[in-house]
């Protein structure tokens, strides 16, 4: 009987220990799950805190890369004896920075090096009258279109009647900015012409004036400014088509919060009619420089 009672006591203690161990394991499992959940929340919070907009606000400045040789989008003037970059792209960028509560810093680069500045983290966004074509969209993200402009062909004024159809440019030298949508247009729509790609637009205009090239493809508002500045130039009746259409702001891929922030400002400015006013004001500056 004593042996029998001892076995019962031992079995009871064994069951008690198993139950205890199971309870401890369950508690540890619950704690581990809770810790993992907290870790996930913490990582999400850190991810949000490390977003592009948060980083820009933390450093207190929005860096815009541009090539300031494309009036009225962006160009240089002398103000109070100092060189300054102005234009309607700059005016829009200032509003984007204002909505974010930070300062705007403009970084000057060659046009074909602009998108590289995003992926090397030298700039937060690129504005340069840039068209969001398919090739560029593979490398960077774009905002909504903020401005639509027609393309035009600049020619010497004394050749305007002669160079008045796309066919009339066969065998002619056509100047375009390297890496621009105009370069693509020339290759596709003027296949019988000789394409001359240069880095800076002013150099293209100088070559056109000097007779080194026969024409240049330029956006209409830009071409209009040059015609006013140089009466020896004219806009051809021949029309090229920009199928990609419009200018947008380039942003490094993966920064959707910054894309959304920029789109918010663009919509506000469009609703207010401010962008059209910026274009008028920029063209006035260009015209006053000529006069």
pLDDT (tens place) for every residue of the chain, 291 residues total = 344 444 444 444 444 444 444 444 444 444 444 444 444 433 433 344 469 999 999 999 999 999 999 888 999 999 999 999 999 999 999 999 999 999 999 999 999 999 999 999 999 999 999 999 889 999 999 999 999 888 999 999 999 999 999 999 999 999 999 988 899 999 999 999 999 999 888 899 999 999 999 999 998 888 988 898 899 999 999 999 887 678 999 999 999 999 999 999 999 999 999 998 898 799 888 867 755
Give the right CATH number for 151-235 from 3.40.190.10, 3.90.1570.10, 3.40.640.10, 3.40.50.2000.
Answer: 3.40.190.10
Question: How many other CB atoms are there within 10 angstroms of residue 157's CB atom?
Answer: 14
Q: Which CATH superfamily is domain 52-148+246-290 in?
A: Periplasmic binding protein-like II (3.40.190.10)
List Cβ neighbours of 41 (8 Å cut-off, separation of 6 or more): none
* Residue for token pair 């009672």: 5
Tokens of 67: 């090539």
Please give the backbone phi and psi of residue 173, each rounded to the nearest 5 degrees, phi first.
Answer: -90, 120
Looking at residue 248, what is its pLDDT?
97
Question: How many other CB atoms are there within 10 angstroms of residue 196's CB atom?
Answer: 20
Q: Is the dihedral of CA 151, 141, 263, 284 positive or negative?
A: negative
Residue ranges per domain, the chain? 52-148+246-290, 151-235
Distance (Å, whole) CA 92 – CA 158: 38
- E-strand ranges in 101-222 read 103-108, 125-126, 140-142, 151-156, 173-177, 194-198, 215-219
Mind listing the pLDDT tens digit for each residue in 29-60?
444 444 444 444 334 333 444 699 999 999 99
Question: Does 151-235 match 52-148+246-290 at the fold level?
Answer: yes
């Amino acid at each position: 009987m004593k042996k029998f009672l001892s076995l019962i006591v031992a079995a009871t203690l064994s069951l008690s220990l198993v139950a205890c161990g199971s309870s401890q394991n369950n508690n540890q499992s619950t704690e581990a799950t809770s810790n993992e959940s907290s870790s996930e929340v913490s990582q999400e919070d850190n991810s949000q805190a490390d977003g592009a907009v948060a980083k820009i606000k933390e450093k207190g400045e929005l860096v815009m890369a541009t090539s300031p040789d494309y009036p009225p989008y962006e160009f240089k003037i002398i103000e109070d004896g100092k060189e300054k970059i102005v234009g309607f792209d700059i005016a829009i960028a200032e509003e984007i920075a204002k909505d974010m509560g930070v300062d705007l810093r403009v970084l000057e680069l060659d046009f074909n090096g602009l998108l590289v500045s995003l992926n090397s983290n030298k700039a937060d966004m690129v504005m340069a009258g840039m068209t969001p074509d398919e090739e560029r969209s593979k490398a960077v993200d774009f905002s909504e279109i903020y401005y639509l402009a027609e393309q035009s062909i600049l020619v010497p004024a004394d050749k305007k009647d002669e160079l008045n159809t796309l066919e009339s440019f066969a065998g002619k030298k056509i100047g375009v900015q390297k890496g621009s949508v105009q370069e693509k247009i020339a290759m596709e729509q003027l296949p019988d012409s000789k394409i001359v790609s240069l880095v800076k637009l002013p150099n293209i205009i100088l070559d056109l004036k000097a007779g080194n090239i026969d024409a240049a493809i330029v956006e209409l508002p830009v071409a209009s400014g040059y015609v006013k500045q140089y009466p020896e130039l004219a806009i051809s009746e021949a029309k090229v088509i920009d199928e990609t259409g419009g200018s947008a702001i380039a942003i490094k891929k993966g920064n959707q919060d910054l894309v959304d922030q920029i789109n918010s400002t663009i919509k506000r400015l469009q609703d207010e009619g401010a962008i059209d006013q910026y274009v008028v004001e920029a063209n006035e500056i260009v015209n006053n420089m000529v006069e």
